[in-house]
Chain A
Amino acid sequence: MLLENTIRNKRQEKDILLMTHIVLGYPSFATNRKVVAQMVENGVDCIEMQIPFSEPMADGPVILKANQESLAQGTSVKECMAFGAEMAAEYDIPFLFMTYYNIVYKYGEERFFKDCQKANIQGLIIPDLSPEMGENFFKLATTYQIAPILIYAPTSTNKRMASLNRSANGFIYCAARRGVTGTKSSFDEDFDTYLARCKAATTLPLAVGFGIQDRADVASLTGKVDMAVIGSQTIRLVDEKGPEAVGPFIAGLR
C-alpha cells in the first residue's frame, strides 16, 4: 500500500510522474550516485535500480551492455543492496530494485526481502517471474510489505490482466509495445486501445515504459497514465555526455 499511496499523493501535485532506471555499478557506483542526485534534484518521482544479471533476457542492447560491464567490474548484489539503502536514506522518493529472478533466488528469497525492507526499498520488478511461478515470492512481498510490480504487455489478454492484477501491488508497469527495452515506441490508436484495456483491468496506478525518450513522448502520455518510465535513454546520455547531462534532460521532459 505504501508505494501505491506515495504515487497517488504525488500524482495530486503533478500531471504525470517520472520514473527513471539505472544499472547499478555502471559505469560505476560513484557515477550512479551523481546520476541519482541529478534525477532527484530535477524532479524524478521514483527510481528503479537494476541489479545486474549475466543473462538479462528482456533487455535491449544498451541495458544489456551496462549489465555486462557492471559485472565485469565485479559488482556484487551486496554492494547493490548497500547502495539502495544509501539512496533510500538520502532521498525522499521511492526506490525500487529491478532484476531477474535468479539474483533473488540465489540470495535467498526471504533474506532478499528482509534486506530490502531494511534498505527501505519499496518495490521489486522481476520481469521473468510471474505469480504462478513465484508463489513464495508473492507471499513474502505481502509479509514484508514490498510491492511486487507486475508487467502488462500488449499481448496480455483481458483475462490475463485481471488475473495479474490480483497479485500486483504499487503500480502496474505497462510495456508500451512488444520487444525489449531501448527502441522507440509509437503512441498511436492501438496504444490507446491497449491502455484502455489496462485501465479496465486494474485500479492500481499505471506506469508506461519501453522506448520513452523525450518530452514529446512524455507529453503524449500525460493525462492518460500516472507515470512515464525512462530507461535506456538516460544510460545512453551518461555514456555520451556524462552524468551532468542527466539533470537538464530530466528537467526538459515535462
Chain B
Amino acid sequence: MDTKGYFGNWGGAFIPEILHETFEQLKISYAEARKDPAFWQEYLQLMGSYSCRPTPLTYAENLTKHFGGAKIFIKREDLNHTGAHKANNVMGQGLLVKKMGKKRVIAETGAGQHGVATATMAAKFGFECTVYMGEVDVQRQRPNVFWMEKMGATVIPVKDGSRTLKDAINEAFRDWVTNVDSTHYVFGTACGPAPFPEMVSWFQSIIGQEAHKQILEIHGRMPAKIYACVGGGSNAMGIFQGFLGKDNVELIGVEAGGKGLHSGQHASRLCGNDATPGIAQGYKTMFLQNDEGQMLETHSVSAGLDYVGVSPILVDLWEQKKVRFESATDAEVMEALDLTMKMEGIIPALESAHAFVQAFKEAPKLGKDEAIIINQSGRGDKDIFTIAHAFDDPSWKQFIIDRAKEYDK
C-alpha cells in the first residue's frame, strides 16, 4: 500500500470529511499493531483458544481418486468458530477496537457469516453491536440473523437499492458518520477505503501462513495451484499471501458466474468483460456498473459473493498476472457441493463451493504427484434453506410446511 492507500492503480480512500479523523486514528492504531510482535502473538493466542486455529489441511482422498489427477487438499476455514474465515478478520479488528477504546461496533454482512462473527466478537469483548444486512440476504440467510440476535446484536434489514451487500455497506457508512466517536466499523472483506483492504488481508494472512507450513509437512513441497472463491476477496487474499511470489504456485480466484457470464446475471468482476474501473464505497476498483457509473444488480446463488466490487489488492495482482480469475455458475456450484458432501462428508458454504468447481475442472489435468489446495472459506450449514431449495428436497419441504402449520396455530 502506498501513502494514499493505493495498490498500483487501485484502492485509495474516498471518504466523507466527517470520517477523515477517525481514519487517521485507525491508520495509526493499525500501524502500531503491525509493528508490535506482541499484538500478533495475542492474536494467535486468541485464535487458538477461541477459534480452533490452526485449522486443519484435510487430504480429500476420495475426491482425489475420483478425479484421478493432483492430490486435493482442503484448507478448513469452516472449522473456525462461527464457521467461516470471517472470524479471523473480526477477532483481529476486535483487538484493535479494544486498543482504540471504542465501545460500539457495526458491520455489514452478506451471507451473514461476517455479521455472526462480529456479533460473537462483540459479545466476547463487551461491545454494543449493530449489523446491517440487505433485505434479500436476510431472507436467504435467516439462520444467521437468528444467531446474531441471540448474541445480542441488532440486525437492521436494508431496504434500499438492490437490498444486498453493497447497500448494507452504504448503510453501515451512514451509521458510522453519525456515531463516529463511539463506533468502529468492522469492515468484512478486503475492500473499502484504506487501510481496510490491507488490514483485513493482514488478519486473514493467518490462513496462508498455516497452509504453507501444513502443505510442506504433508506433501513435502509447494502445491501446484491454490483455489479460493472471491466475493470481496478476503479469504482469497488470506490464503494467497502464504504463496505469493512462489514461482511454481498458481493462484486462482473464482468469482460468482451466477446464471452465466453472458447472462448479465452474475457477480464476476475480473473474469468476464462486464466490470470497469470506478470509485464507490470508499475505494477504486473494478465495479459492475453502467457507462454512467451507476452500479448494476448482481446475481449469485451465494449471498457472500453477490457484490459489485472486489479487493483493490486482487485487481492489482490480476493486472500483474499474479492471480488468475475464473467463474463458477450457480448450477456448477450445486453439483460440486453435492459431490463433496457425498464423497468426503464435508459441507462447503455455497461461496466456498465456487472454488471447488474450478479445482475439480483442473485437478484431472495435473499429475498424481502434484497437489492443489482449495480454501474452504466456510461451512454450508448456514445455507440449509438455499441448498435444500436448490436441491428441491421433498422431505425438507414437508418439514417446513409442517413446522409452519404448527406456528400458524
Contacts and interface: CB of A to CB of B under 8 A. Distances in A.
Contacts of B180: 155, 178
Interface stretch (B7-15, B53-61, B125-133, B299-307): B7-15
Contact of B17 (A103, A105, A130): A130
Interface in A14-70: 53-58, 60, 64-65, 68
A179 B21 contact: no
Interface of A: 53-58, 60, 64-65, 68, 71, 76-77, 100-103, 105-107, 127-130, 132-133, 150-157, 160, 164, 175, 178-180
Nearest to B294: A54
A54 B17 contact: no
A200 to B, nearest CB: 17
A13 B375 CA distance: 68
Contacts of A175: 17-18
Interface in B275-319: 276-282, 287, 289, 291-295
A60 B4 contact: no
B294 A57 contact: no
Most interface-central of A53, A76, A153 (chain B CB within 10 A): A153
Given A57-B170, A57-B282, A133-B12, A155 B18 contact: yes
A160 B24 CA distance: 11
B14 A133 contact: yes
B397 interface: no
Most interface-central of B4, B15, B18, B289 (chain A CB within 10 A): B18
A76 B292 contact: yes
A179 B181 CA distance: 11
A178 B22 CA distance: 12
Contacts, number: 114
A24 to B, nearest CB: 13
Nearest to A129: B14
Most interface-central of B160, B281, B289 (chain A CB within 10 A): B160
Given A151-B16, A155-B22, A180-B177, A128 B282 contact: yes
Nearest to B19: A155
B178 interface: yes
B177 A178 contact: yes
B179 interface: yes
Contacts of A65: 160
A130 B20 contact: yes
Given A60-B174, A153-B18, 16 more contacts: A54-B161, A57-B174, A64-B160, A101-B14, A102-B280, A102-B287, A102-B293, A105-B278, A106-B276, A106-B289, A132-B4, A133-B14, A156-B17, A178-B180, A178-B181, A179-B174
5 contacts: A58-B18, A77-B293, A102-B287, A106-B289, A128-B14
A55 B17 contact: no
Contacts of B15: 128, 130
B85 interface: no
Most interface-central of B13, B15, B16, B178 (chain A CB within 10 A): B16
A140 B217 CA distance: 57
Contact of A155 (B13, B21, B278): B21
B101 to A, nearest CB: 16
A53 B294 CA distance: 6
A55 B4 contact: no
Contacts of A180: 174, 177-178
A6 to B, nearest CB: 24
A152 B14 CA distance: 15
Given A76-B292, A151-B16, A156-B17, A105 B279 contact: yes
A179 B4 CA distance: 25
B356 interface: no
A79 to B, nearest CB: 10
Given A71-B294, A106-B289, A128-B279, A160 B21 contact: yes
Contact of A77 (B14, B281, B292): B292
B202 interface: no
A156 B21 contact: yes
Pairs of residues from A and B, 3 with the lowest C-beta to C-beta distance, nearest first = A106-B293, A179-B178, A102-B293
B166 interface: yes
Contacts of B174: 57-58, 60, 179-180
A153 B291 CA distance: 32
Contact of B295 (A54, A105, A153, A179): A54
Most interface-central of A57, A60, A152, A164 (chain B CB within 10 A): A57
B30 interface: no
Contacts of A68: 160-161
Contacts of A106: 276, 278, 289, 291-293
Nearest to A76: B292
B240 interface: no
Contacts of A151: 16-17
A100 B160 CA distance: 18
Most interface-central of A133, A154, A156, A164 (chain B CB within 10 A): A133
A103 B294 CA distance: 8
Contacts of B181: 155, 178
A186 B397 CA distance: 54
Contacts of B166: 55
